[in-house]
Structure 1
Amino acid sequence: MLVKSGAFAIEQLSEALSANAKSNKLPDGVPQGALHLCAEQLSQSYDSQYGGFGSAPKFPRPVEIQLMLYYSKKLEEAGKSGEAKEGLKMVFFSLQSMARGGIHDHVGGGFHRYSVDECWHVPHFEKMLYDQGQLANVYLDAFCITNDVYYSSLSRDILDYLRRDMIGPEGGIFSAEDADSSEHEGSAKKEGAFYIWTSKEVEDILGENATLFKDHYCIKPLGNCDLSRLSDPYNEFKGKNVLIELKDTMALAQKYELSIEKYLEILGECRQKLFVTRLRRPKPHLDDKVIVSWNGIAMSSLARASKILKGEADAMKYNFPIVGSDPNEYMEVAEKSAAFIRKHLYNEQTRRLQHSFRNGPSKAPGFLDDYAFLISGLLDLYEYGGGIYWLVWANELQNTQDELFLDRKGGGYFNTQGDDPSVLLRVKEDHDGAEPSGNSVSAINLIRLASMVSSSKSDYYRQTAEHLLAVFETRLKDMAMAVPLMCCAADMISVHSRKQVVLVGQKPSLEFDSMLAAAHSSYDPNKTVIHIDPTNNEEMEIWEDNNSNIALMARSTFAADKVVALVCQNFTCSAPVTDPKSLKSLLSKDHPFVV
């Protein structure tokens, strides 16, 4: 009897957690309604004093930023620039507040997991790879919108931290660094010991520049973890300081009678001295697992940075911990991560992934998130200038994902494979939390893939995405704030025609690189970039098989000494352009399209 009732309970729970779609697509108006509702709910939870959405403890939750950026773009396109600017103000203030707060590791780069207080000051000091990748991406988006190097510098800050501390010898990117470490060898571990400073330590290390540095980062003799009653309720950080910027940088430069450039240079030199001192402390434990899903997230931001950061001024000056390297180096890191996964965690015969790697592949098979996040990263690898083979692999992985996780009858994806006997319940996850859900990311992947291929394959991808989103209709209508990225996906699929930027020319070349950077210089989530080299027979064969229209377009527009760009939408294309400035202009406004 007990066994029967237990089995019945599991069956009922399974039905509740594995919802089926009532129809094959969302009703008209639901995508726009969900997007508006989510933005409205986030706006109501916005903290106008300290930035961010919601109260302490405060997590970055980049999917909220993504939603607000996407919604602001839609408002701008609808001619509601005033409302769009209000949303952007919330985003930019939140991004700035996080960057100035203690949740940001000012000395070594990157971001901690969350802030225990409302003012982004005292963090839980763990550093997670999925946070770094997502935050780098939203700072890149902010740079695309504003052209303000404050945001591009922060994306570099994060990615340079990853390059320095989190990459294995073969290119796999590690998972996390712990919060706890010892103050000195042999002592008990304490939260944040590696990252915090006494006033005297700073004075001894920095000498004549200590006063300026302490002023800038609010360092006090008795410690500074008293900004909120939540910052240090148990006096764990008494006498200690977590670096935070509370004062205006320009005003401080004037106070010390320095140019802003010289002032920032001194701060960078001081941070580097603290960094060198910090290296002599016992380090937090490094979780050196290479997890496929999190590598996919990081891969995306690295690939995007390789082109978006080309929009920075040539004379740009960087200060420690930012390296200031050629943006192309980020693409190299992204491709090494992808190559590591292909070599160690992908079976070429079965076309299946394993979940993670540490001293060998894990026994655990890949989960939905591993496939979805890796596909997303591979699509960015291709769109931002990587080889066509990354796009081919993304298509292969999508086929495997559908085979293993897709509910063909009910719609949407289960989190786990159906042949795993250890799994009692197969759940369709929708919550976009610290990480986005595999279903939200999959919906966007399918929309992107549908815009790259043609005919029945494109129709299949689109219909699969529509069916997936229909599964979560109730959630989108009633609890939109729980699924911000899914709200974006629902709106994306309702867009009548996705914009395509097609670049045709010989690769690789500096000219092609510049045109790719121009294609990605503006923020537009409803844009697909396709690049093709008609002199590459293998590449042309792939396009002939998957989208013969693109192959035909490439042949007809190819010019041996130029890179030709076309912007296409609604089955019509712009007149071809052959220089980055013209392409940027074409993408920045609603140009008339000509056949």
Structure 2
Amino acid sequence: MTDVKTNHLAGETSPYLLQHADNPVDWHPWGEEALALARNQDKPILLSIGYSACHWCHVMAHESFEDPGVAQVMNELFVNIKVDREERPDLDKIYQVAHSLLTQRNGGWPLTMFLTPEECIPFFGGTYFPKQPRFGLPGFTELLQRVADFYRERKDAIATQNQDLMRAMQAIAAPQRVESAELSLLPLDVARRQLEEQYDAARGGFGQAPKFPHPGSLERLLRHWDRSRRQGNPDTRALEMLTHTLERMALGGINDQIGGGFCRYSTDDDWMIPHFEKMLYDNGPLLALYSQLHAATGEPLFARTAHSTAEWVMREMQSPEGGYYSSLDADSEGEEGRFYVWTPDEAQAALSAEEYAAFAPRYGLERAANFEGRWYPHVFARIDTIAADLNIDTAEVERRLDSARDKLFTLREQRVRPGRDDKILTAWNALMIRGMAIAARQLQRPDYADSAEQALEFIRNTLWQDGRLLATCKDGRAHLNAYLDDHVYLIDAILELLQVRWNSADMQFALELTEVVLRHFQADDGGFYFTADDHEALIQRPKPVHDDSQPAGNGVAAHVLVRLGHLLAEPRYLDAAEATLRALWLPMEQNAFACTRLIDALEEFLDPGEAVILRGETEAVQDWQMDCAAACAPRRLCLAIPNDAADLPEALAEKIPREGTIAYICTGTRCSPPISRREELREALA
């Protein structure tokens, strides 16, 4: 038996990079060794960026990177660098922007960019390239030869193009500051109008297929409705857009009807057939939204969806050490979606006749196959319709469906599972900690808070080293400097978890993270860079403004700084938040719908929400906190601090305990007289 020859990726922590470690391509991880090799040999760099759960990344790998002939051309003409976009979002952000500027098209994964060896500036690029010419694209081997020839023969033209590209990228990295900007709440109404313009009234969501969840846009509608309700003029249309979208998603195939958890996006307008990968960063915000919307509406579907999502996370995505894993692949046994699909015969064999009679119409097994000759569960029929057709009551239909799903889940567990990317990313863990904390509070599920605490403890013990945060960990090996998102998402998550259970050490951790953000990420002209001041120098230092699949770091930074500034009476935090809002006012004016987290921060800066501080004996103060948690109040921060809590920040320590339980309600810099009766607190909160 011969040893498999590995390239330079064999020592990496990324499962995606390790998938390529035995390619015949002489892959290098990004680093000085590979960059120096390119400079010394005057070879252009072929930069390939992808991630473990990416279907087309797997396709390109099987077609080209595993082919010895293609690999030989790559090795002769280029220094080949493979990057996991989840571990190195700094590189991905930069080269996705460059791709868009060079090609005038949206990017994606796999991202394939060709860089000059001296400056690492891209001069050509694309996404997926087939091995043989098709889809209107050249064959990859032919493309490689043409790019290498162009690099050797047209260096002057490349140099000129690089200058133009760098000017454009610098302009994007540093949005124009409007010195005379007067902050106002106008972007709230602009975002609300823009979201309705993009809203799909028939099917929910925004735009056309492929349809993504866009949790930031949905949370903006929730906050807009909550604000209008408090002002006595509820925006029922905003609530309708939100509830309709989350209902259609919950009943659609984008939500795994058998095992819980949301897939990345829907390939059709009806949310029926997803791209089957499941990402941690989608499910955390969606868990929070479904929990909040259940609190707002009382709709059981939203609670059931939140529960199935949280249970999937704890069952399949939480490591024994506490941290949450990153993603599940779309593919198993070489086929996309194979793990998740059925035939009517399989379902019939597994279920009783009564169960199948309810399950088949509910999930479309009586209809034509909806996914490559097989059936993927998507809700087609209403419960009351099935009950009428079968002449039974709706409770019996629900019982049969629950039993059928349990049986099919057990059967599905015996199949070959999709691959799991088991690295633990700080930013994505923070999004899930936040989701679990909100779900624990709104759904009264202490076990969700336990899960969130375990993940936070893992981060503090493993990824927080010598006063600095690290971005990723696998098999106990933590490395890579953390980014802005890692820090501010984690602060946001801690603030939500503190609203479930007070922990002075958690608050101290949040404040230490905040100081790191202010010291190492803050820009002189306002706002925050994506990378720290001691990070590796790259061709661009982005200042993220617009939300994409995850919220923009500047929006979350401004939001947590506003909340902490008001809560702790800390002017430095409020000043930094204001400087961020002023620096990024122009993007908020121009593209309000794409800056939802910045707008959340703007709203709370100009019109602060409530901070409720409860003091008392542990059991009593937690009972009072349930009154805060019962309602959907996204602009409220409620902390139940036991009398014996130590090491409190000064502003919280000043909220002194008294006999019995007491509540302090503050709005911005104003606090009401202390409240000592629970009924009076309920009235104040209402």
- Determine if the alignment matches structure 1 residue 19 to structure 2 residue 170: no
Q: What SS does structure 1 have at the residue aligned with 2:321?
A: coil
- What residue number does 1:364 align with? 480
One of 655, 665, 677 as aligned partner of 1:567? 665
Can you list the C-alpha shifts for 1:295-335, whole angstroms capped at 9, x where unaligned? 0011011112222113xxxxxxxxxxxxxxxx111111111
Question: Residue type matched to 1:480 in 2?
Answer: A
Contact 1:504–1:563 (Cα < 8 Å) also in 2: yes
> How far apart, in 1, do the equivalents of 2:217 and 2:379 lie?
24
TM-score where L is the length of structure 2: 0.74
Q: How does 1:477-492 map to 2 (within 5 A)?
A: 477-492=589-604
Q: What SS does structure 1 have at the residue aligned with 2:385?
A: helix
Deviates more, 1:442-451 or 1:114-123: 442-451
Q: What SS does structure 2 have at the residue aligned with 1:354?
A: strand
Can you list the C-alpha shifts for 1:117-155, whole angstroms capped at 9, x where unaligned? 000000000000011100011111111211223212211
- What residue number does 1:425 align with? 540
- Determine if the alignment matches structure 1 residue 261 to structure 2 residue 372: no
- What residue number does 1:342 align with? 460
Q: How does 1:312-323 map to 2 (within 5 A)?
A: none
Q: What SS does structure 1 have at the residue aligned with 2:639?
A: strand
Residues 354, 24 of structure 1: alpha-carbon distance in 2 compared, 3 angstrom cutoff: farther
One of 203, 206, 212 as aligned partner of 2:351? 206
One of 620, 624, 638 as aligned partner of 1:515? 624
- What residue number does 1:130 align with? 281
> How far apart, in 1, do the equivalents of 2:179 and 2:325 lie?
39
> How far apart, in 2, do the equivalents of 1:274 and 1:450 lie?
50
Contact 2:621–2:642 (Cα < 8 Å) also in 1: no
Question: Residue type matched to 1:250 in 2?
Answer: D
Contact 2:178–2:585 (Cα < 8 Å) also in 1: no
> How far apart, in 2, do the equivalents of 1:532 and 1:272 lie?
41
- What residue number does 1:249 align with? 383
Q: CA deviation at 1:21?
A: 6.3
Residues 40, 221 of structure 1: alpha-carbon distance in 2 compared, 3 angstrom cutoff: closer
> How far apart, in 2, do the equivalents of 1:386 and 1:148 lie?
29
Question: Residue type matched to 1:378 in 2?
Answer: I
- What residue number does 1:141 align with? 292
> How far apart, in 1, do the equivalents of 2:624 and 2:181 lie?
37
Q: What SS does structure 2 have at the residue aligned with 1:529?
A: strand
Contact 2:332–2:416 (Cα < 8 Å) also in 1: yes
Aligned residues: 529
Q: CA deviation at 1:402?
A: 1.7
Residues 11, 118 of structure 1: alpha-carbon distance in 2 compared, 3 angstrom cutoff: closer
Contact 1:502–1:566 (Cα < 8 Å) also in 2: yes
- What residue number does 2:684 align with? 586
Q: CA deviation at 1:86?
A: 1.0
- What residue number does 1:402 align with? 518
Percent of counterpart pairs with the same letter? 27
Question: Residue type matched to 1:67 in 2?
Answer: R
Residues 159, 26 of structure 1: alpha-carbon distance in 2 compared, 3 angstrom cutoff: farther
> How far apart, in 2, do the equivalents of 1:421 and 1:568 lie?
42
- Determine if the alignment matches structure 1 residue 380 to structure 2 residue 380: no
- What residue number does 2:203 align with? 50
Contact 2:221–2:239 (Cα < 8 Å) also in 1: yes
Q: CA deviation at 1:523?
A: 2.3
Q: CA deviation at 1:360?
A: 3.0
Q: How does 1:173-192 map to 2 (within 5 A)?
A: 173-182=324-333, 189-192=334-337
- What residue number does 1:493 align with? 605
TM-score where L is the length of structure 1: 0.85
Q: How does 1:267-346 map to 2 (within 5 A)?
A: 267-310=401-444, 327-346=445-464
Q: What SS does structure 2 have at the residue aligned with 1:363?
A: strand
Give 4+ residue runs of structure 1 displaced > 4 Å after superposition. 1-11, 23-26
- What residue number does 1:316 align with? none
> How far apart, in 1, do the equivalents of 2:574 and 2:673 lie?
25
- What residue number does 2:21 align with? none
> How far apart, in 2, do the equivalents of 1:43 and 1:269 lie?
39
Contact 1:216–1:249 (Cα < 8 Å) also in 2: yes
Question: Residue type matched to 2:267 in 1?
Answer: V
Question: Residue type matched to 1:175 in 2?
Answer: S
- What residue number does 1:219 align with? 365
Contact 2:491–2:513 (Cα < 8 Å) also in 1: yes
Q: What SS does structure 2 have at the residue aligned with 1:452?
A: helix
Can you list the C-alpha shifts for 1:348-368, whole angstroms capped at 9, x where unaligned? x3x111111112334321011
- What residue number does 1:120 align with? 271
- Determine if the alignment matches structure 1 residue 525 to structure 2 residue 634: yes
One of 107, 111, 125 as aligned partner of 2:258? 107
Question: Residue type matched to 1:205 in 2?
Answer: A
- What residue number does 2:221 align with? 68
Q: What SS does structure 2 have at the residue aligned with 1:451?
A: helix
Residues 488, 266 of structure 1: alpha-carbon distance in 2 compared, 3 angstrom cutoff: same
- What residue number does 2:582 align with? 470
Question: Residue type matched to 1:464 in 2?
Answer: A
Contact 1:354–1:361 (Cα < 8 Å) also in 2: no
> How far apart, in 2, do the equivalents of 1:175 and 1:102 lie?
21
Deviates more, 1:254-263 or 1:197-206: 254-263
> How far apart, in 2, do the equivalents of 1:574 and 1:23 lie?
40
Residues 218, 357 of structure 1: alpha-carbon distance in 2 compared, 3 angstrom cutoff: same
One of 602, 613, 616 as aligned partner of 1:505? 616
One of 348, 355, 359 as aligned partner of 2:471? 355
Question: Residue type matched to 1:295 in 2?
Answer: N
Residues 586, 127 of structure 1: alpha-carbon distance in 2 compared, 3 angstrom cutoff: same
> How far apart, in 2, do the equivalents of 1:578 and 1:309 lie?
25
> How far apart, in 2, do the equivalents of 1:370 and 1:132 lie?
17
Can you list the C-alpha shifts for 1:192-238, whole angstroms capped at 9, x where unaligned? 00001111111111131212100111113641x2xxxxxxxxxxx33
Contact 1:19–1:410 (Cα < 8 Å) also in 2: no
Question: Residue type matched to 2:301 in 1?
Answer: Y
Unaligned runs of 5+ in 2: 1-154
Contact 1:68–1:88 (Cα < 8 Å) also in 2: yes
Superposition RMSD in Å: 2.1
Contact 1:21–1:470 (Cα < 8 Å) also in 2: no
> How far apart, in 1, do the equivalents of 2:597 and 2:655 lie?
33
Question: Residue type matched to 2:520 in 1?
Answer: L
> How far apart, in 2, do the equivalents of 1:483 and 1:577 lie?
40
Q: What SS does structure 2 have at the residue aligned with 1:532?
A: strand
- What residue number does 2:554 align with? 439
Contact 1:568–1:574 (Cα < 8 Å) also in 2: no
Q: Quick check: which has more Rg, 1 or 2? A: 2
Residues 5, 150 of structure 1: alpha-carbon distance in 2 compared, 3 angstrom cutoff: same
Residues 267, 584 of structure 1: alpha-carbon distance in 2 compared, 3 angstrom cutoff: farther
Residues 372, 443 of structure 1: alpha-carbon distance in 2 compared, 3 angstrom cutoff: same
- What residue number does 2:145 align with? none
